[in-house]
Amino acid sequence: MSAIDVVGRYGAAAAAGDMAALAATLTKDVVWHQPGANRLSGDHVGPEAVVAHLGRFMELSGGTFALETESATESGNLVATTVRFTAEREGAAALDQHGVDVFRVEGDLIAEIWLIGEDQAAEDRFWG
């Protein structure tokens, strides 16, 4: 299976809201690197931590967080996706940004994920 196919499985699971299937696409020591200086920032290690982290996006946004993959390309075991993400939160300006997510794949599983948003300061303000 190619790296882009592995990331495609992850994306399909995320779109379906199937967190068990999403966790099954991750290595046991996967590292999710969340940028910024807000309550969601930092490294999240392991499938359980990643799933919990994704749940926090939904919790803090009252279930409005949405992520759309616009394109994907691969180079060896790396996959870069362009994304658009949106969310709403009471007392905060709506979040509507584009970004790039980079995945490192080992075998048929995702081992590492980096996220890059177009306006980190706005994202930090939104998540608080």
d(CA 2, CA 55): 28
- Confidence category of residue 112, pLDDT binned at 50, 70, 90: very high
Q: Which fold has domain 1-125?
A: Nuclear Transport Factor 2; Chain: A, (3.10.450)
CA atoms within 13 A on the CB side of 102: 10
* Cα 63 to the center of its chain, rounded Å: 15
- pLDDT tens-digit map of 7-24: 999 999 998 989 999 999
Predicted TM-score (pTM) of this structure: 0.95
What's 88's DSSP letter?
-
What was the pLDDT predicted at 117?
Answer: 96
Q: Give just the sign of the alpha carbon dihedral 93, 94, 98, 100.
A: positive
Each domain of the chain, given as residue ranges in start order, spans 1-125
Structure tokens at 40: 């969601």
d(CA 59, CA 72): 27
Please list the residues that pair with 33 across neighbouring strands. Answer: 43, 114
d(CA 13, CA 9): 6
What was the pLDDT predicted at 51?
Answer: 97
What was the pLDDT predicted at 82?
Answer: 97
d(CA 35, CA 41): 5
What was the pLDDT predicted at 29?
Answer: 98
